Amino acid sequence: MTTEFKALPVERDQYGYWTHPLYDEFCDDRESISPEEFNAWLDKNGLEWTVIYRDEDDADPDVDGYDISAWQPETPAGDGWFVGSIHYTEDGAVCIWLRAKP
């Protein structure tokens, strides 16, 4: 059984983080998820994804640290994209975009 994903209002916390509740439920606070498991989850839910990384040249780690509240990631080209998660990783700040497969 699939759960219909819909865009929700993105209400970022004081540090700029936010995760869609259904995406958060899937991730379940795990450090990593295998590509196979992630792709199976996307297929099960009829989704596709893309990721946008913040240009770290635009951030000052001494000032910003893990605070990404000033970052406004650009929506990918095409229709239907919504935020799955915006958070910080070991590779820097990321925004996971999701949308229903056409």
Q: What is the pLDDT of residues 55-78, one digit of tens each?
A: 876 666 656 678 899 999 999 999
pTM of this structure? 0.88
DSSP letter assigned to residue 5:
-
The pLDDT value recorded for residue 29 is: 87
CA 20, CA 83: separation in Å to the nearest integer? 7
pLDDT tens digits along 18-54 = 999 999 999 998 988 999 999 999 999 999 999 999 9
C-beta separation of 67 from 16 below 8 A: yes
The pLDDT value recorded for residue 50 is: 97
